Amino acid sequence: MDVDVVVVGSINVDLVVHAERLPRPGETVQGGRFEQHFGGKGANQAVAAARAGARVAMIGAVGDDANGAASLAALAAEGIDVARVRSTPGPTGVALVAVNARGENQILLASGANDTLTPADARWEGGLSVVLSSFEIPPAVATAAMQMARARGGVGILTPAPAHALSAELLAEGPILVPNEHELVVAIGNDDPAAALNELTHRSSGPVIVTQGPAGALLAHGERRQRFDGLRAPSVVDMTGAGDAFVGALAAWLASGHTLEQAIRAGNAAGALSVSATGARAALPRREEIQALLA
């Protein structure tokens, strides 16, 4: 089967508690509201790309539990090809998410079935334009996904989250890297974001897009630096998943033949629209919504 975007990534269920503020270490904060949502950085990016108009396939793993079956059904309902998602004994990945009154979050992740993925899983026999991956699966699998993208003549996009050092083997594939500022400094091991960005662009031949929340994004490629201003969010309820919205729209725009600059602007629009509802997926926008905001 030919698709536009292949996602090699995580599939989780998110257990979300809303409270006035986030707890400090050792502290219990009362008065929260509980919700359960489908999540996982990989699955969220797959849904974001599908809603942004791409034909999407997912490669991943779920547990042989009720969460796994429900997660697969939710992806299939978005029109995503889940034939390469396997079920494995044990639990599906779970994320514990705390969200404060300003929409900021803290996330604790139990990887579950996601950790059973191996580099051999990162294969796709049909045509593709873009491959997405991140570090909610073993880093060796994310690296294999970027190798597969290059071998298949596609564009690799890696979100280095959770924050993780980037290996020379991965950087040699020249993927588009999409870190936030925290992930940028961890990726290089330099607490100065500007110096970290200079070093990363020196070590990698691919573009680096640093997402900066409401401020937008910074594109760095070689000596080039270009800022893309963020767009005003209609409302801010929950910032969980805004980065996944950005990457999904970025991939969908690139897969449909747009320039990287156009794709970044679409990503900014998708990120702004995505924060208006609770949960990482509820407000992931559709292509027509992104186009309307861009207009």
**Could you list the active site residues?**
244
Structure tokens, 178: 């999409």
